[in-house]
Amino acid sequence: MIYHTLIKYSLFLSQFTNSANSCCQQVQLHLYAFKIRKMLELTQFCMSRTAQALPKLPLPALRDTLEMYLRCMKHLLTEEQFNKTQHVVQKFGAPGGVGELLQSKLMERRDKQANWVYDYWLKDMYLNNRLALPINSSPVMVFPQQHFKAPIDSLRFAAHLISGALEYKTLLDAHALPVEYARGQLAGTPLCMEQYYRLFTSYRLPGPERDTLVAQESSVMPEPEHIIVACKNQFFVLDVVINFRRLNERDLLTQLEKIARMADSKEERLPPIGLLTSDGRTEWAESRSVLMRESTNRDSLDMIERCLCLVCLDDASGLELNDTTRATLMLHAGGAAKNGGNRWYDKPMQFVVGADGCCGVVCEHSAFEGIVLVQCTEYLLKYMMGSPSKLVRAASVSELPAPRRLRWKCTPDIHKLLASSADRLQREVNNLDMNVHKFNDYGKEFIKKQKMSPDAYIQVALQLAYYRCHGRPVSTYESASIRRFQQGRVDNIRSATAEALAFVRAMTDGKLGTNDAEKMEMLQSAISAQTKYTILAITGMAIDNHILGLRELAHELKMEKPEIFKDEAHLISNHFILSTSQVPTTVEMFCSYGPVVPNGYGACYNPQSDHIIFSVSSFHESSQTCSAEFVKILVQGLLDMRDLCNKCNRGSNPTEQRQGQKLERHTQTDTKWQSKPPARPTDLTKNRQTPPQVLLTTPGQTKAEAQTQTSSEESDGDSKERK
Ligand code: COA
């Protein structure tokens, strides 16, 4: 109660400070705000004792992890590979062997550190990865299509969005975000909130061999804060606190209009330096050191690195916009010819507002997980829905100082670097093969009625799709949150279980002659195995983080690399051809990301009550993959799984029985897979001229759209490749 009153008072004060006239009044109000903040911090401190009391990430027993490793890999290896792996693993785990030594060191690390795997994991997952951030690392949230009637509308939308982001930042500064509690499996435990506090305060600094995640220390007194607005590849400093006063939405619109006018001036345009940030990390680190030779550039870089976030005012892409093209544009901005230079990929939060209504957020991933990004983005969209823009007319002329354009001194060397970055980005643009599909036949409610976990069911469907496309199972990554623990990020649910393989074979290989009841049993067994693994992962007992910890510790101790990490199975296990993640939303939007290996798929899904949004990505350069084909086969598999459930549950419920018969007539596809082998028993061969056309849904304008409208790895040998 006290806490909520304090928050309200703090928000009220920040608004009131905006309207204070004299400097004296403003200083007085800031002193009040300072005291309230202190009280809030104290209250938050007491409240967050629960969160601080979060347990440390447990360390699984060595034997359990090694046994599970063998179990996970057996069906992904040839017999010969597996026999060798079994031998290597036994040697590693033998009493008095290397494994025991490393495990004892890991136990010491667990005792000393808040989270024994966090640093290792961060470097392995992100900071060591040399691949360019767009597509390969930075996920995006795609907003509902906006319908801007005039250029001013997109600026109004941006002003409204910034206003919401500043309000959210006020909550963060006051440490006023309520502690979250787990939902779904093992619901109810408090979650670590640490990632939220990096949303607007961190920066991924490129390095020649490894990047650094720089975090600004939070300060109690408000500092002059600014955001960077990118417009026509130019970068502008938009101060959001002027004379101790936080700008309101009308001020923000005034400033954005000035920026748009300044960006229009062709004579003053500077080269698209942002393109450099879209390059490989080593290339960008080198270009940055060239830029740093000039003091003008150093100042500009400093302003960008210290900003709260970017707002990218994009030109219209000229493409026909549907879910797939909007996801694609959000992932790579269309290359240098479109908005590719209108980005700064090192910054965690880049809000994109396209003149053609293509809007969303691009996120640098090392600082936080997609779920945190979703929570923040949903807050902003709800803020915009809940407080429709007041800016009916254009903003009045204000005395605010004009935003500052960031200057760049460009030598011929820099021009050459820009040309190479543009070329490399264009290759990435040409290579991305996206397909976003809204599966409308059913959603998680149908699955829950089958008394199955929706997440596990969708994972089994993804296994079925891959097997039907390629005739084999592959190492699969599914992110599992470990925020139940201090500094928890994610571990991996290895969804390519032996049980899933048995099911997908039965559903695909007609010659096995499995009947429906047997298939249903296999489906249940696959779902049960997947659910059990999920529980292991979310309780910190999965194997990937543990194996990573053992490997990194051996490296740190300068030991000769143990055989287990040189073994082919270790490479295969970390080559995640299927990189999957559930990113659910409560507001209409969806998440997309790229594949993590050249011959892989990125498969992100957003389960809703009566539909599921899938965002599937792959690379055109791989002759083995095709996103549209994968989606088509995935949809077919989901229909087949539903039919199987309906057929097998018919006996128990007469209504469902009738439904089942109707559905059976409707699809009748199960037999298709039984009567003939998979369409392509080995890998897919592409036919780029005539890609199979699968539903590309362009949903009609939704409530959310209407309301948000304003008035008019390919990594080094053994590092992991995953999402
Ligand atoms: N019968 C009926 N209902 C069931 C069920 C069953 N056998 N099993 C689960 N359900 C219900 C759950 O109670 C839950 O209900 P709710 O919607 O009312 O909350 C719902 O189905 C969803 O549960 P489930 O499908 O099992 O998944 P989950 O929500 O527990 O999610 C993970 C599982 C692994 C995705 C989740 O734990 C996680 O880690 N999420 C984070 C992923 C992430 O980090 N993504 C971003 C990476 S950048």
Q: Ligand 1: does its nearest atom lie under 6 Å from the Cβ of 534?
A: yes
Decide if 95 contacts 103 (C-beta within 8 A): no
State how far the Cα of 233 lies from the Cα of 335, in Å rounded to an integer.
12
Nearest atom, ligand 1, residue 186 CA: 30
Range 366-370 average pLDDT: 95
> What residue's CA is closest to ligand 1, atom 12?
184
CB atoms within 10 A of CB 234: 25
Q: Residue with the nearest Cα to atom 47 of ligand 1?
A: 370
pLDDT in tens, 639-671: 999 999 999 986 555 444 444 444 333 333 333
pTM comes to 0.86
Residue 502 CA to residue 512 CA, distance in Å, equals 11
pLDDT at 74 over 50: yes
Q: Provide the pLDDT for residue 701.
A: 35
Catalogue the long-range contacts made by 683-689 (C-beta closer than 8 Å, 24 or more residues apart).
683/469, 683/470, 683/471, 683/623, 683/624, 684/469, 684/470, 684/623, 684/624, 684/625, 684/626, 684/629, 685/623, 686/620, 686/623, 686/625, 686/626, 688/620
pLDDT at residue 694 is higher than 90:
no
Each residue of 600-629: pLDDT tens digit? 999 999 999 999 999 999 999 999 999 999
At 561-605, the pLDDT tens digits run: 999 999 999 999 999 999 999 999 999 999 999 999 999 999 999
Query: What does pLDDT average to over the chain?
Result: 86
- pLDDT of 330 over the 70 cut: yes
CA of 444 to the centre of ligand 1 (A): 10
Over residues 524-540, mean pLDDT: 98
Give the mean pLDDT of 508-521.
Answer: 92
Please give the Cα distance from 121 to 541 (Å, whole number): 15
Q: Percent of the chain, pLDDT > 90? A: 76
Q: Would you state the structure tokens that stand for residue 12, as one six-digit string? A: 């009220």
CA-531 nearest atom, ligand 1: 26
pLDDT band at 518 (very low <50, low <70, confident <90, very high): very high
Q: Is the CB of 490 within 6 Å of ligand 1? A: yes
Q: What is the pLDDT of residue 45?
A: 47
Confidence (pLDDT) at 72 = 98
Determine the pLDDT at residue 399: 84
The reported pLDDT for the residue numbered 673 is 39
Ligand 1: residue of 445, 448, 449 to mutate (most ligand atoms within 8 A of CB) is 448
Report whether residue 455 contacts ligand 1, using a CB cutoff of 6 Å: yes
Q: Cα of 187 to ligand 1 centre, how many Å? A: 9
CA 23 to ligand 1 center in whole angstroms: 52
Matching residue, tokens 């008072």: 9
What's the CA gap between 346 and 359, in Å, rounded? 19
Residue 244 is predicted with a pLDDT of 82
DSSP-H helix ranges across 677-720 = 703-708
Beta-ladder partners of 352 = 312, 360
- Annotated catalytic residue within 30, 175, 332, 365: 365
Shortest-distance atom of ligand 1 to CA 458: 25
447 lines ligand 1 (CB under 6 A): no
Cβ–ligand 1 contact at 486 (below 6 Å)? no
pLDDT beyond 70 at 413: yes
- The pLDDT of residue 222 is 54
Q: Is 583 in the pocket of ligand 1 (CB under 6 A)?
A: yes
Residue nearest to atom 7 of ligand 1 (CA): 452
Query: What is the rounded CA–CA span in Å between residue 506 and residue 153?
Result: 54
Helix (H, G, I), strand (E, B) or coil at 29: helix
Calculate the dihedral angle through the C-alpha atoms of 371, 469, 595, 622, rounding to the nearest 10 degrees: -170
pLDDT digits (tens, 9 = 90+) for 112-157: 999 999 999 999 999 999 999 999 999 999 999 999 999 999 999 9
Instruction: Give the Cα separation of 181 and 167 in Å (integer).
Output: 23
Question: What is the predicted pLDDT for the residue at 216?
Answer: 77
pLDDT of residue 668: 34
* Average pLDDT of the segment spanning 23-46: 50
* Overall residue count recorded for the chain in this entry: 723
Nearest ligand 1 atom, CA 534: 34
**Nearest C-alpha to atom 28 of ligand 1 is from which residue?**
184
| d(C-alpha 274, C-alpha 277), whole Å | 6
Cβ of residue 532 lying under 6 Å from some atom of ligand 1: no
Q: Identify which of 138, 450, 455, 609 to mutate to test ligand 1's pocket (most ligand atoms within 8 A of the CB).
A: 455
Confidence class for position 685, pLDDT limits 50, 70, 90:
very low
pLDDT of residue 659: 43
620 is catalytic: no
Residue 219 above 80 pLDDT?
A: no
Between CA 16 and CA 14 the distance in angstroms is: 5
Q: What's the pLDDT at 346? A: 98
Closest CA to 336 of 232, 210, 206, 464: 232
- The strand pairing partners of 604, in sequence order, are 581, 615
582 alpha carbon to ligand 1 midpoint, in Å?
A: 9
- CA separation for the pair 551, 120 (Å, rounded): 10
Q: Is the CB of 279 under 6 A from ligand 1?
A: no
